[in-house]
Amino acid sequence: MGFFEVVGPVTAGVVGIIVAALQAALASRGERRQPRAAEQTLEDRLTDLGDLMRSSSRVLEEVQAEIQARLALAEKAKKDADEAQQVAQLNEAQRLAVARLVRAELAGEVSKSSKRTFWQGFAVNFFFFAAGVVASVVTAVLLDS
């Protein structure tokens, strides 16, 4: 989840919350207004303005808290994605290490096997060489007698 994929909906939500809060504040202000023949005094207008500012301040604090929560969530998701990527790379490194280890073991086994095969072949060849020498000597002795 990209940063802008989180921030875009957050921004839209913030604008929606601010608009709704201002509408609610204006509606409550309109309800508090009493139809008077005379214009409101400056003091009344300042009181209304103070109420609206406090209301806006509360809404702004709520919006900021929501943004902070979503940013924290986005940062956590980014951190989780980075950790998952590191684990994937670590697993790749482990896979390569295991492959190298298996190749080394096979090479060692082939080396041991080839040494064993060499000595077995040498022993068999030596046996038949000796048997040939004995057969030649026996044949020569039997033919001379």
Q: What is the per-residue pLDDT across 35-55, written as a single tens digit (0 to 9) for each?
A: 554 578 989 998 998 999 998
Q: How many domains is the chain built from?
A: 1
3-state secondary structure of 55: helix
Contacts of 25 (CB under 8 A, 6+ apart): 51, 52, 55, 56
Q: What is the residue range of 74's domain?
A: 3-116
Residue 96 within any structural domain of the chain? yes
Residue 102 domain-assigned? yes
Residue 94 lies in a domain: yes
For residue 80, being part of any structural domain is answered with yes
Q: Is residue 144 part of a domain?
A: no
In a domain, 135, yes or no: no
Q: What is the mean pLDDT of residues 79-88?
A: 84
Domain-located, residue 71: yes
34-39, Cβ contacts within 8 angstroms, sequence gap of 24 or more: none
- Give pLDDT tens digits for 99-125: 788 788 877 777 777 778 888 888 999
In a domain, 122, yes or no: no
